[in-house]
Each structure stands twice: as C-alpha cells, then as structure tokens.
Structure 1
C-alpha cells in the first residue's frame, strides 16, 4: 500500500511539473549561455610533482611524517604534471602574500577570459546588464565587480553582485542569481565570472587535514555570457532547463567537513575532514529527490519510487545505490562532474552507476588543470566540447559540491553541435593518456618503506 501511494504521488508531481512548464510562462524565463571562456595560465606557472616537492621543502614546519604524507598524496591525487600554480607561490612568497599579489591573481583570470569572451561573442562591455563575480576567499574594497566595471567602463545602471565564501559550487549559485534577475530584467545580458584566490591562502602549517588543499587546488577560472533574449536563441550554446540548490549546513558534521580555520600554530587554511564524502552523499541524495522528477520520464520516476521504497525498508547505506535501478540516461546524455578530487569523481560515478566514458571528462580535467574550485565545471564542459561529444538536443547534467555543505546541480540543453577545442586546444590529442599514473610514483616509491623512517629531511635530495 505504501509503495502504491508513493508511485501515485510521483505521478501527480510529474503531471504538476509538466503543467507548470507549459502554462506558467517558461518562454519569458529562459536562460541561454552564449559563450564561456576558461583561463589558462602561462607556461612559467606550471607546477609538476618535482617542482611541488621543492615548494613543499620550503615549509620548515614540516617533519618527516608530514613530508611523507604530502608526497604520497601528490603522486596518488590524479593530478598531472601541467597544472598551474599562483605566481606568488612559484616565486616563493606563499608565507607573506600581499594584497597586490591577490589582486594581480584575480586580474589575470578576469581580464584574460573577459577580453576573449567579448571578442568571441561580439557583445560589448557596455551592453552588459548584470554582472556576478564569485571568489570565495577574497573580498576587497572596492569589490571585485567594481574592479571589472572600472576596467571596461560598464554602464552606470548595471546590476552588480559579489559572492564570497560559497566554495567550489559557487558557479551554479551565481547562475541561479542570474536566472532570478532575468525574471525582472527582460532581454538582458549577464556575465558570471568564477575563480578563486589561492595565492594568498596557501597553507604553511603542518596539519595534515589542512595540507590537502595545497595538493589539490590549482589556478583557473571561467567567464560566461548569458541572455534571456529569445532573439539570441540561434546563437546560444546551451539553454538552462533545470537548476536545484541544496544546503546541508544545518548538519554540524557537514558544516565542519570543509572549513576555513587557523591551526594550533595560527596558520590559516582549509580543513578537509573525513566526513566530507558522507556530507557530499547526503546533500546529493536530497538534491536528486528534487531534481530527478524534473528531468526523468514518468516510467523512470516510477522505478525511482520503487527503489527508494526498498532503501527505506532495508536501511541501505546512504553512500550507495543512488542510481541503482535507474536509467539516468533516459533524462540526460552527459555528466559534467566537479573535478574536486579522485574520491569525489569515484563516489559520484559509483552512486550513479556511471561508466568510465561518463567519468572521463572529469578525470581528465583533474589531471590537466587540477581542482580549480568554482571554475572547474567549465573545464569539464570544455573537454566534452573539444571531444565533439555535444550534439544539438543533448542534455548535460552538471554536478557540483561546495563548503557549507552545498550540492548544486543543473541540466543544460545543447542548442547546436559543438566542437570548439577551447582551452584544451594545445593538448587535446594527448587525452585521454594511456595511464594516469604519476610518472614520479616509482621515483618516490621509497616513501612507503617504513625501514627508512630513520632518515632526516635534510638528508633527502628531491631534485
């Protein structure tokens, strides 16, 4: 009886959503993405495992256990040898970054991507009606949006929003803000700029849970151009069809699993706890309960009700079986997963029952560019486009997680066949590589040998 009621409720909800889409003016609430531009730093900013070791050695607070932990993490992270590091870290100023360092880091991303975006789209800066910038770890005065408005001499009635502290899923929060603004401002143009300030937030202490951020995060970012003007439909790359935001911050474990703190020695940084995976899974489950009825056909929703009913009866672990018994590809064609780390990609892949083909864009992005925080999703999307996977009518499921703890997901409809090599242009022929094994795994394999624990750091040559 309970199962029958659940199926009946799903059916009614499905009918209700369809009616709303048909009769409540969806045409006037459209959100088209016209272009996006990802940032690629210069070659002098590249950091491989060997140069990472030299950076690590500059931290005199670390002992043998900490060095060993960092080396093991670096060679097993899934991050390749061509990611980009902040300029002040490359130059050895990570312990004493200046405000100028932070602003220059932002300027590099902002103006490189925006210059290319305006040139490619043919839309001038003076035509922009809405500007949203999301940078979690830097909030100067005047704001970062003001910095962009001043540079491009944008119009005085532009609606500017500066988002901070939103973490790796901030891009979709910014896009949701644009979507809400589009309900008020008709035939408008909007820009979203997503990046992160890493140079001034490099962790210089020895807490292992805080050292992880140095191993995973890299320089990157993206600028995107949107409109709700139906006259530009034929020029659009994507149309936003669904967006669902979930905030799990009421749970103490989830709130604290990814948090900015100072360690016992007073060094600021990000603490990533072992509870992060569980928090992500729980937030993901909550999000899917809202999103799936919006994107799956009726017969799949009935299947979903059956599976969920079985979970509740069997008390199945929340980390497993999210996609068990569901054919998600009946509602979406591609999976754009936040490249936050191997554990994040593996966890989403396992829970949704995805193939290695589905996970390839996220894995390759992590390998080539690292975790670029809120900008990461767009490198994944760029990989799909460069590989000519995105065809007219395809639906792209974008999955992101962020501190708080947040899970923000959306679905895009591809408006025309896409094949721009974009930021992947100079390396697309190398991907996917035959192996993602770090080339220094063998060289640094000795770190796992407990018989060498008597060694001192000053006795080791990492060059």
Structure 2
C-alpha cells in the first residue's frame, strides 16, 4: 500500500510540476549562456613531474617519508605533464608570496578570459548589467569584482557581487545568483568569473592531509556570459533548465573535511580528510532526491519511487539504487563532473552507473589541466564541445562538490550544435591518450622499493 501511495505522489508531483512550468512564467524566466572562455597560458608555466619534484625538494620541512608520500600521490593523481602553476611557485617564491603576486595571478586569469569573451561574443563591457566574481581564497580591498569594473570601465549601475570561501562548486552558486537577479532585471547581460587564488595558498608544511592540495590544484579559470533576453535565444549555446543546491555544513565531519587552517608549525594550508568521500556521497544523495524528479520522465520517476522504497526498506545506500535501478540517460545525455580528483570521478561514475565514455571528459580534464577548482567544470564542458559531442537538444548534467560541504548540480539544454575546439584546440587530437600512466612511475620506481629505505632526503637532492 505504501508503495502505490509513493507512485501516486510521484505522479501527482510530476503533473503539478509540468503545470507550474507552463503557466507560472518559467517560459520567460530563462537563463541563456551565450559564451564561455577558459584560461590557458604559456609553456613556461607548466608544472610537469620534474618541476613538481624540484618544488617539493625546496621544502626543507620534508623528510624522506613525506617526500615519498608526495611522489606517490603525484603518480596516482591522474594529473598529466602539462598543467599550469602560479608564477610565484615556478619562480620559487611559494613560501613568501606578496600581495602583488596574488593580484597579478588574478589579473592574468581575469583579463585573458574576459578579453577573449568580449571579443568572441561581440558584447561590450559597458553592456554588462550584472557581474559575479568567485575566488574562495583571496579577498582584496577594493574587491576583485571592482578590479574588473575599473579595468573595463563598466557602467556605474552595474550589480556587482564578490563571492569568497565557496569552494570548488562556487561557479554554480554564482550562476544561481545570476538566475535570481534575472528575475528582477529583464533583458540583462551578466558575467560570471570563476577561478581560484593558488599562489599565496601553497602549503609549505609537512602534514600529509594538507600536502594533497599542492598535488591536485592547478591554475585555471573561466569567464561566462549570460542573458535572459529572449532575442538572443538563437545565439545561445546553452539554456539552464534546472539547478539544485545542497549544503551539508550542519554535519561536523562534512564541515571539517575540506577546510583552510594552520598546522602546528603555523603553515597555512587546505586540509583534505578521509571523510571527504563520505560527505560528498551524503550531500549528493540529498541533492539527487530533489533534482532527479525534475529531470527524469514520468516512467523513470515511477521506477525511482520503486527503487527508493525498496532500498530504504533494505537500509542500503540509495546511490547504489540510483546507479542500478535508474536510467539517468532518459533525462540527460552527458555528464559534466567536477574534475576534483580521480577518486571523485570514480565515485560519481560508480554511484550513477556511468560508462568510461561518460567519464572521459572529466578524466581528460584532470589529466590536462588538473583540479582548477571552481573553473574546472568549464574545461570538462569544453572537452565535450571540442570532441563534437554536444548536439542541439542534448541535456548536460553538471555535478560539482565544494567545501562547506556543498553539492551543487544543474542541467543545461544545448541550444545548437556546438563544436568549437576552445581551450583544447592545441591538444584535443591527442586525447584520450593511449595511457594515463605517469612517466614518473618508470623513471622513479625506486620510491616504492623498501630496500632503499636507508636513503636520506639529502641523497635524493644530490
């Protein structure tokens, strides 16, 4: 009886949702993405394995065990040889970064992506009505948003927002803010700039849980142009159809699994704990319970009700039920997963029953660009576009996680066939490579040889 009641409720919810969508003005409550531009830079900023080793060896706080841990992490991270590092790290100033270093890092990313975005779209900076900038680890005065307004001489009544501390899923938070502003400001243009400040936040201590961020995070970012003007519908690349934001910060373990703090020696860094995976799964579950009924067709919603009922009775993880009992591709065509790390990509893939084809864009983005924090999703989307996967009418499911702990997901509808090689233009023909095995594995295989445990860090440096 309970099961049939659940089916009835799902059916009723579906009918009401469709009626509301049609008659309560959502047709005019639109958010179109006209263009986006990801950051790339020169080869002298690349941080390959050899360069990473040199940076590690500059840290005099490390012993052989910490050194081995870092090198093993590099090998297993899924990150390739062509990711980008902040300039001050390349130049050996990671331990004593200046404010100028921090601002120059932001200027480089901001102005590269925005200059190209304005040129590509044909929209003038003076036409922008809303500006949202998200950088979690740097808050300057005047704000970073003000820095952009000053550079491009934007109009005085622009609505500017500067978000900090929002983590890797901040770009979807920024887009949600734009969507809310679009309800007030009609026929408006909005810019979202998503990146992270890595240069002044390089960890120079020796706690393993804090050293991980040095191995995973790399320079990157993206600027996006949005409008709610229906006259630009035919020029749009994507239309936002659904978004659900979940915040699991009320749970202490989730709150503390990704957190900025100082170690016992006073070195500031970003701690990633083993509880991160569990926090991500729990936040994902909460998010999917709200999002799936919005994006799946009626027959899949009935299946969803059945899966949820059966698995909750058996007290099994609902995500396993989602992966094995639902056909998510009846509601979406592509999966744009935050390239936060190999474990994140593997976990989402297993939970949702995805194929290697589905996971390829996230894996290749991690390999080529690393974890670029809030900007990462757009490199994944760019890969799909460069590979000519995105056709008119397709639906793209974006999945992001961030400190807090947050899970923010959304669905985009592709408005026209898109196939710009974008930031991937110089390397897309090389992807996917024949192997993702780090060349470090062969060159430095001795690191796992216990017979060489007598070595000292000084011997390696020589």
TM-score by length of 1: 0.99
Q: Would the aligned equivalents of 1:195 and 1:375 in 2 still touch at CA under 8 Å?
A: yes
Q: Would the aligned equivalents of 2:132 and 2:191 in 1 still touch at CA under 8 Å?
A: yes
Q: Secondary structure at the match of 2:318?
A: coil
Deviation of the 1:313 alpha carbon: 1.2
Report the more deviating stretch, 424-433 or 310-319.
310-319
Q: Would the aligned equivalents of 2:337 and 2:345 in 1 still touch at CA under 8 Å?
A: yes
Q: Secondary structure at the match of 2:138?
A: coil
Q: Secondary structure at the match of 2:93?
A: coil
**Does structure 1 residue 166 correspond to structure 2 residue 158?**
no
Paired with 2:445 and 2:251, the residues of 1 have a C-alpha distance of: 40
Q: Would the aligned equivalents of 1:285 and 1:322 in 2 still touch at CA under 8 Å?
A: no
Q: Can you list the C-alpha shifts for 1:22-43, whole angstroms capped at 9, x where unaligned?
A: 0110122100000000000211
Q: Would the aligned equivalents of 1:278 and 1:319 in 2 still touch at CA under 8 Å?
A: no
Q: Secondary structure at the match of 1:211?
A: helix
Q: Counterpart in 2 of 1:381?
A: 381
Report the more deviating stretch, 301-310 or 205-214.
301-310
Deviation of the 1:124 alpha carbon: 0.1
Provide structure 2 residue ranges, at least 5 long, that are not aligned to the other structure: none
Q: Would the aligned equivalents of 1:29 and 1:183 in 2 still touch at CA under 8 Å?
A: yes
Q: Would the aligned equivalents of 1:29 and 1:182 in 2 still touch at CA under 8 Å?
A: yes
Paired with 2:321 and 2:457, the residues of 1 have a C-alpha distance of: 45
Paired with 2:319 and 2:56, the residues of 1 have a C-alpha distance of: 34
Paired with 2:412 and 2:216, the residues of 1 have a C-alpha distance of: 27
Report the more deviating stretch, 440-449 or 274-283.
440-449
Provide structure 1 residue ranges, at least 5 long, that are not aligned to the other structure: none
Q: Would the aligned equivalents of 2:137 and 2:197 in 1 still touch at CA under 8 Å?
A: yes
Q: Can you list the C-alpha shifts for 1:373-417, whole angstroms capped at 9, x where unaligned?
A: 000000000000000000000000000000000000000000000
Paired with 2:190 and 2:184, the residues of 1 have a C-alpha distance of: 13
- In the superposition, relative to structure 1, how do residues 212 and 398 fare at CA in structure 2: closer, same or farther (>3 Å)? same
Deviation of the 1:219 alpha carbon: 0.1
Q: Counterpart in 1 of 2:41?
A: 41
Report the more deviating stretch, 318-327 or 107-116.
318-327
Q: Secondary structure at the match of 2:260?
A: strand
Q: Would the aligned equivalents of 1:41 and 1:219 in 2 still touch at CA under 8 Å?
A: no
Paired with 1:259 and 1:2, the residues of 2 have a C-alpha distance of: 42
Q: Would the aligned equivalents of 1:38 and 1:220 in 2 still touch at CA under 8 Å?
A: yes
Alignment of 1:1-400 (within 5 A): 1-317=1-317, 320-400=320-400
Paired with 1:16 and 1:252, the residues of 2 have a C-alpha distance of: 37
**Does structure 1 residue 408 correspond to structure 2 residue 408?**
yes
Q: Would the aligned equivalents of 2:307 and 2:321 in 1 still touch at CA under 8 Å?
A: no
Deviation of the 1:183 alpha carbon: 0.1
Deviation of the 1:111 alpha carbon: 0.3
Paired with 1:281 and 1:322, the residues of 2 have a C-alpha distance of: 12
Q: Counterpart in 1 of 2:433?
A: 433
Q: Secondary structure at the match of 2:455?
A: coil
Paired with 1:228 and 1:242, the residues of 2 have a C-alpha distance of: 15
Q: Secondary structure at the match of 1:84?
A: coil
Q: Would the aligned equivalents of 1:240 and 1:410 in 2 still touch at CA under 8 Å?
A: yes
Paired with 1:259 and 1:341, the residues of 2 have a C-alpha distance of: 17
Q: Secondary structure at the match of 1:30?
A: coil
- In the superposition, relative to structure 1, how do residues 449 and 431 fare at CA in structure 2: closer, same or farther (>3 Å)? same
Paired with 2:307 and 2:318, the residues of 1 have a C-alpha distance of: 13
Deviation of the 1:74 alpha carbon: 0.3
Q: Can you list the C-alpha shifts for 1:263-308, whole angstroms capped at 9, x where unaligned?
A: 0111000110000000000000100000001100011011111111
Paired with 1:173 and 1:288, the residues of 2 have a C-alpha distance of: 17
Deviation of the 1:318 alpha carbon: 5.4
Q: Secondary structure at the match of 1:131?
A: strand
Deviation of the 1:156 alpha carbon: 0.2
Q: Would the aligned equivalents of 1:281 and 1:318 in 2 still touch at CA under 8 Å?
A: no
Report the more deviating stretch, 114-123 or 450-459.
450-459
Paired with 2:367 and 2:422, the residues of 1 have a C-alpha distance of: 17
Q: Can you list the C-alpha shifts for 1:427-460, whole angstroms capped at 9, x where unaligned?
A: 0110000110001111121111112111101111
Deviation of the 1:323 alpha carbon: 2.1
Paired with 1:434 and 1:295, the residues of 2 have a C-alpha distance of: 35
Paired with 2:17 and 2:381, the residues of 1 have a C-alpha distance of: 28
Q: Can you list the C-alpha shifts for 1:89-131, whole angstroms capped at 9, x where unaligned?
A: 0000000000000000000000000000000100000000000
Paired with 2:66 and 2:318, the residues of 1 have a C-alpha distance of: 33
Deviation of the 1:9 alpha carbon: 1.3
Paired with 1:200 and 1:41, the residues of 2 have a C-alpha distance of: 19
Q: Would the aligned equivalents of 2:254 and 2:275 in 1 still touch at CA under 8 Å?
A: yes
Paired with 1:317 and 1:238, the residues of 2 have a C-alpha distance of: 33
Report the more deviating stretch, 177-186 or 308-317.
308-317
Superposition CA RMSD, Å: 0.8
Paired with 1:285 and 1:16, the residues of 2 have a C-alpha distance of: 23
Q: Secondary structure at the match of 1:397?
A: strand
Q: Secondary structure at the match of 1:6?
A: helix
Report the more deviating stretch, 437-446 or 169-178.
437-446
